[in-house]
Amino acid sequence: MVTSTTPKGFEATLHQRLKQSDTFRTYQEAFRTATGLPLRLVGADPDAWDLDEECVNRSPFCEQLNICESACNACVDTNRRLMREAQVEGPSSCHCFAGLMSTAVPVRMGATTIGYLRTGQVFSRVPTEADFENFLGKMGRKNLPKESEKILRETYFQTVTIEPERYEGMIKLLDSFASQLGQHAESLAIIEEGSEPAAISKARKYIHQHLDSPLPLGNVARVAGLSESHFCRLFKDATGLTLTDYVNRCRVEWAKKELLRPELRVSEIAFQVGYQSLSQFNRSFARIVGASPTQWRSEQLRRAAS
């Protein structure tokens, strides 16, 4: 199994700061009030998606499904696939095995995905008794206690139904807000917080905005307003990585999103994300991911088709 070893500190910290910002909280409350739907800002790693995250924002029906391990696993898998699709396609929606619709809208700063706006857990049409019976069949009705079946029935038919056209309008609003959050992230990225110097935050912003261009140490240090030696020490202390390794990991993360587009050649992607040669890209990708770009793409497309 291929695993990612990308640096989590910068993106994770920025995600938390966005999540706690007045900008997000104000819109979150306004969206809930206007639509009756939950709105979450989840992290950028699809494989780290957790069903227990912010459980207060899930529907009562989803809460009841949480008691069934097989249902939970199916829900987690569906949401991970949804977020991977959103990485490539932008705002994406899907139906889970129970028939509920969920949506993920990526929040990006340059080429970097900071997180996803998540909403949904609604029906796109009024469910019927036949729909519920079909759902019970998938759950394995014989193994379901009568009391649990009763509660599931009640919460199933209490779930909100929203017409597709109206729901699509809500997603367009979220997409617009995601762009605003991305701009807000750029501002937050250069504001000093905690132990990270503002100069390093400024350098990170510059790196993420210029991943497709050469990023020599002298240029990045100059943007940070530091000497090269001082910058190297501060950057390693803040990230645990050298500038070269950090840039390579950011480029590889971007490349992984592009590799999910089967129409693009690997060589095209290599130059698109800032590498000067295909061989350099292949070496960096294999070192960081543990597989060649072609192998990783084949595995991801195979999993998506299964």
Mean residue pLDDT of the chain comes to 84
Residue 285 forms part of a structural domain: yes
- Taking only the tens place, the pLDDT of each residue in 194-211 is 557 889 988 988 998 999
What pLDDT, on the 0 to 100 scale, is given for residue 70? 56
Q: Taking CA 195 as the corner, what is the angle to CA 191 and CA 199, rounded to the nearest 5 degrees?
A: 45
| Prediction pTM value | 0.67
Judgement on whether residues 206 and 80 belong to the same structural domain of the protein: no
Judgement on whether residues 139 and 287 belong to the same structural domain of the protein: no
Instruction: Please state, in angstroms and rounded to a whole number, the distance separating the CA atoms of residues 248 and 299.
Output: 22
Residue 269 forms part of a structural domain: yes
Residue 63 to residues 59, 95, 156, 218, Cα–Cα distance (Å): 6, 17, 11, 53
What mean pLDDT do residues 152-160 have?
A: 91
Which residues pair with residue 102 across a beta bridge? 94, 120
Is 90 exceeded by the pLDDT of residue 288? Answer: no
- Taking only the tens place, the pLDDT of each residue in 70-93 is 556 667 778 888 888 888 888 999
Residue with tokens 């609604």: 122
What mean pLDDT do residues 121-127 have?
A: 92
Contact at 8 Å (CB) between 66 and 54?
no
Instruction: Give the end of a domain, one of 188, 212, 244.
Output: 188
What pLDDT, on the 0 to 100 scale, is given for residue 195? 57
Tell which wins on pLDDT, 55 or 234.
Answer: 234
Judgement on whether residues 201 and 278 belong to the same structural domain of the protein: yes
Q: What residue numbers bound the domain in which 81 lies?
A: 9-188
Residue 50 forms part of a structural domain: yes
Task: Give the pairing type, strands 40-43 and 101-109.
Answer: unpaired
Lowest mean per-residue pLDDT among 65-69, 107-111, 215-219, 300-304: 65-69
Judgement on whether residues 172 and 210 belong to the same structural domain of the protein: no
